[in-house]
Structure 1
């Protein structure tokens, strides 16, 4: 079931919505066969959220704050150029997975905005294609939201804006779904293993207390 949460991204409510589940921005990490350590670290982070009820540590800096400002500029520019009906949402949850879209567009689409330094923006403009490192996130957004297409926007002030429309790739999404299911199964096993450690520790503590009282 698709659930849409109209909370501010980065807020306490947003962290609560996404706690303990893989999200589209990390789907590439989940699917990366040659990045076992990165995948394992992400799994441990989610396990920590589930067990402690606390979100992964997050921080902001000047670069990130500027990125948010540029994202707003790109969104407004996109809406003006395409005369698009855009809707900002906080989080979309679909079962045990989710996504934080930059915007929903009309009834069938969505928007993913990336700001890029001039050299990267020029490289993307020359290519005119979706950068492969963002494919998992964009297709993940389509999958999670149940929509048909997603516009990838790359932006930097004083340079042309790149917009690439990406349509649903059902074969890719089927493979992604299998990978996410496997990841979630491993995550559940890890959480249970850690909780069992805690239960065994509690038993030992109780036995020690009983021994002291009896002595």
Structure 2
């Protein structure tokens, strides 16, 4: 299964995926954010229709897709690690969750590649690992489902001079954060199920 393929999109439909965990965990001063509610509605619609949500791929997303193979090669050359590709991973204990890590490393590690359009973002990644904090929930969610112990979060920008094109920050598994994710998924999944059941009841009554 190839990431981005029709098969991959179908496998993800109706599931909470790691790339949307930040939306799931987002809050405001008054409570859960609008992005959380939007995610719940999107997942409910996918379960009702059986079809993946139609998403728009902007230029920044296309850039990331195009540069990821170069980022992977640069990472392998720098670290000596061999990245094993993994398209989609699920845990039978959490059937409502699915993740697409950029790569597996040995028995315990993961790698996540980011190729920001903004050079300022890559600079921040080089200076203090800002990219690892920005994608915290995605990375912890991937470690949760794959049962891995660490993840190298990599920012790659070939526009920078040699020696500055890669920013690698290793993030360790955080059980407290993973417990928070589990609780959030459980609550959101119940909300999705309620929406789906309401729609089924309306259909039966029609």
State if a TM-score over 0.5 links the two structures.
Answer: yes
Equivalence for 1:205: none
Contact 1:129/1:164 (8 A) holds in 2? no
The partner residue of 1:70 within 67, 72, 92 is 67
Equivalence for 1:123: 124
How far apart, CA to CA, are the structure 1 residues paired with 2:199 and 2:33? 20
* TM-score, normalisation: structure 2: 0.89
Residues 1:111 and 2:116 aligned together: no
How far apart, CA to CA, are the structure 2 residues paired with 1:58 and 1:178? 27
**CA drift at 1:37:** 1.7
**CA drift at 1:63:** 4.1
How far apart, CA to CA, are the structure 2 residues paired with 1:36 and 1:200? 33
Residues 1:33 and 2:33 aligned together: no
Equivalence for 1:156: 157
Structure 1 residue ranges without an equivalent (≥5): 1-6, 202-215
Contact 1:27/1:137 (8 A) holds in 2? yes
Residues 1:176 and 2:170 aligned together: no
**CA drift at 1:157:** 0.6
Equivalence for 2:143: 142
Contact 2:105/2:111 (8 A) holds in 1? yes
Contact 1:79/1:85 (8 A) holds in 2? yes
Over the aligned positions, Cα root-mean-square deviation in angstroms equals 1.5
How far apart, CA to CA, are the structure 2 residues paired with 1:42 and 1:128? 27
Residues 1:57 and 2:62 aligned together: no
The partner residue of 1:92 within 82, 89, 92 is 89
Deviates more, 1:167-176 or 1:35-44: 35-44
Query: Residues 84 and 131 of structure 1: is their aligned pair in 2 closer, same or farther, counting only changes over 3 Å?
Result: closer
Instruction: Give deviations 1:146-189, integer Å, cap 9, x for gaps.
Output: 11111100111132110011111111111111111111111111
Q: Which has the larger radius of gyration?
A: 1
Residues 1:102 and 2:102 aligned together: yes
Equivalence for 1:207: none
**CA drift at 1:196:** 1.1
Contact 2:132/2:171 (8 A) holds in 1? no
The partner residue of 1:16 within 10, 15, 19 is 10
Structure 2 residue ranges without an equivalent (≥5): none
Instruction: Give deviations 1:56-115, integer Å, cap 9, x for gaps.
Output: 003445543332121111111101111112111111112221111111111111111111
Equivalence for 1:208: none
Count of residues in Structure 1 that have an aligned counterpart in Structure 2? 195
Query: Residues 149 and 131 of structure 1: is their aligned pair in 2 closer, same or farther, counting only changes over 3 Å?
Result: closer
Secondary structure in structure 2 of the residue aligned to 1:87: coil
**CA drift at 1:138:** 0.6
